Amino acid sequence: MIVRGGATLKMHWEEGAALKALQQGKWDYVVLQEQSTLPITDPATMHKYARLFDAEIKQAGAKTIFHLTWARQHQPENQVKLNDAYFTIAKELKALVAPVGVAWEKAFKEDAKRVFHTEDKSHPNAVGSYMAACVFYALIYEKSPEKLTNRISSYPVSDSGMVSNVKTELVNLDKSEAILIQRIAWQTVKNVKAAAHQFHGN
């Protein structure tokens, strides 16, 4: 995992660490996530570096997955622009899309009181992260995340990459809420895939 807060795909490309890891490892999928607002303000730059990374990912024998993120809590109207930026480049490159932001939006429409953001109105809280995980599970395994656990514990990793030796509970959802999130994640992935097949005429 090569991550840095606020980093763009351009920054990752120019720094070289992500490219080195890609070329030295053996991967089935490689997830690309752009900085949260760049797809809204400058999709052309996002697409330029997405193309560069995708070429290297294909060269490595892997598949690209775009992590379609969510609008900030106080700017829900930006979800449309995020969707457009990610789906446009994914169609061009024949890449996969993990439609996390789309699933969040659907969840909010079902219950406006749901909160998936942290207090900064940008990053995901534990429930939002759980939704993201369910979307990725549904996409990669091509099956419903329903009946997966509603509790997740792990050894946290710090920003510097150090793994804690103390196991921490990351997610502990009410079972009924977990089932709703799992259902929304599965339905969203199915809908997006169906729309993509229709677009390509399959």
Q: Find tokens 């995980």 and name the residue.
A: 133
Q: What is the pLDDT of residue 25?
A: 87
- Angle among Cα 80, 196, 50 to the nearest 5 degrees reads 65
Which pLDDT tens digit goes with each residue over 148-194?
999 988 887 776 778 888 888 889 999 999 999 999 999 999 999 88
CA separation for the pair 8, 82 (Å, rounded): 15
Whose structure tokens read 């990669």?
140
| Domain ranges, ordered by start, for the chain | 1-98, 112-202
CA distance 183 to 189: 10
Q: Give residue 159's pLDDT.
A: 67
Mean pLDDT of all residues in the chain?
A: 92
Phi/psi of residue 90, nearest 5 degrees:
-65, -40
Query: Which CATH number applies to 1-98?
Result: 3.40.50.1110
**189, 141 in Cβ contact below 8 A?**
no
Predicted pLDDT at 3:
86
Show the low-confidence residues of the chain (pLDDT under 50).
Answer: 200-202
pLDDT of residue 44: 97
- At 65, give phi and psi (nearest 5°): -120, 125
Q: 69 with 100: CB under 8 angstroms? A: yes
The Cβ of residue 59 has, within 10 Å, a number of other Cβ atoms equal to 10
Identify the pLDDT of residue 126: 92
**What local confidence, expressed as pLDDT, does residue 13 receive?**
95
Q: Are 12 and 48 in contact (CB under 8 A)?
A: no
Residues in CB range of 113: below 8 A, 6 or more apart: none
| Cβ neighbour number for residue 41 with a 10 Å cutoff | 12
Residue 106 in contact with residue 114, Cβ under 8 Å? Answer: no
pTM for this structure?
0.91
